[in-house]
């Protein structure tokens, strides 16, 4: 099979995004939050955990500690108890408390609006930073690569890479920057509804004519 040119891949990626937008017009971040700060905390908790489980945990957490000031003053033992269901609870509790302390002491409580700076906060890597910047502020500095984005972009042959960092670089080359934020939400929705890891429903997929891996 001849190697696809970058121009053709960009054209195919644009059509993929267009079809998915029509299929999932309400695609958005599935984490529940009321403020950018709460989104950042929820995203930290979502590491190695489902969004559904995080959304079951954060109502109690945010009722007790709704903002950085309250979180910084929180008892670490209480935090551990509350976030325990999300897994890795000791590290997550430590990170969200340290994150709040640094946010207040270094940034005056204002979440930084660029990736280089926001990733200085405890618990915030490139993925978490991109989620917060994109979802809370509409700032696109990259493409968030979760397990759905990784798997489906490989099936679509938009990338052949294996690491999230390399996949993101490939996707940034072929996806319109205006779609960087929504592309992740579209892929997640599609991965949950149709392109299911254990049994992809290729016959029902709006992308089957664009997907080299389609079984149709």
51 a catalytic residue: no
Residue ranges and CATH numbers for the domains of the chain are 6-28+143-204 (1.10.1670.10), 36-112 (1.10.340.30)
Q: In this structure, what token pair is assigned to residue 129? A: 């930073």
Catalytic pick from 51, 146, 157, 161? 146
3-state SS, residue 79: helix
Per-residue confidence (pLDDT) for residue 3, from 0 to 100? 84
The pLDDT value recorded for residue 216 is 63
Report the pLDDT value the prediction gives residue 11, as an integer from 0 to 100. 97
Residue 215 is predicted with a pLDDT of 76
Which has the closest alpha carbon to 73: 100, 55, 92, 45? 100
Q: Which of 127, 170, 179, 189 is catalytic?
A: 127
Q: What is the pLDDT of residue 2?
A: 72
Which DSSP category does 196 fall into?
-
Q: Mind listing the pLDDT tens digit of every residue in the chain (216 residues)? A: 578 999 999 999 999 999 999 999 999 999 999 999 999 999 999 999 999 999 999 999 999 999 999 999 999 999 999 999 999 999 999 999 999 999 999 999 999 999 999 999 999 999 999 999 999 999 999 999 999 999 999 999 999 999 999 999 999 999 999 999 999 999 999 999 999 999 999 999 999 999 999 976
C-alpha span between 99 and 93 (Å, rounded): 10
SS3 label, residue 45 = helix
Cα gap 101→68, rounded to integer Å: 7
Active site residue 127: yes
Q: Residue 71: count other Cβ atoms within 10 Å of its Cβ.
A: 24
Neighbours of 198 (CB within 10 A): 4
For residue 142, what pLDDT is reported? 92
- 113: nearest Cα among 143, 144, 95, 138: 138
> Sign of the C-alpha dihedral, residues 17, 20, 24, 27?
negative
Of 26, 8, 43, the C-alpha closest to 186 is 26
């Amino acid at each position: 099979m001849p190697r696809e040119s970058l121009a053709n891949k960009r054209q195919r990626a644009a059509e993929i995004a267009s079809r998915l937008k029509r299929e999932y017009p309400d695609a958005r971040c599935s984490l529940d939050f009321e403020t950018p700060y709460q989104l950042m905390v929820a995203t930290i908790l979502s590491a190695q955990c489902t969004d559904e489980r995080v959304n079951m945990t954060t109502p109690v957490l945010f009722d007790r500690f709704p903002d950085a000031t309250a979180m910084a003053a929180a008892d670490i033992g209480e935090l551990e108890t509350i976030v325990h269901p999300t897994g890795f609870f000791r590290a997550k509790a430590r990170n969200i408390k340290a994150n709040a302390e640094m946010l207040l002491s270094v940034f005056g409580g204002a979440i930084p609006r660029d990736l280089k700076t926001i990733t200085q906060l405890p618990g915030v890597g490139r993925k978490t930073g991109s989620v917060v910047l994109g979802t809370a502020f509409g700032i696109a500095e990259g493409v968030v690569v979760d397990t759905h984005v990784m798997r489906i972009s490989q099936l679509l042959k938009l990338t052949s890479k294996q690491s999230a960092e390399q996949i993101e670089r490939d996707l940034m080359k072929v996806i319109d920057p205006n779609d960087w934020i929504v592309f992740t939400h579209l892929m997640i929705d599609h991965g949950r509804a149709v392109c299911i890891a254990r049994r992809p429903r290729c016959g029902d997929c709006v992308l089957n004519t664009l997907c080299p891996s389609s079984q149709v």
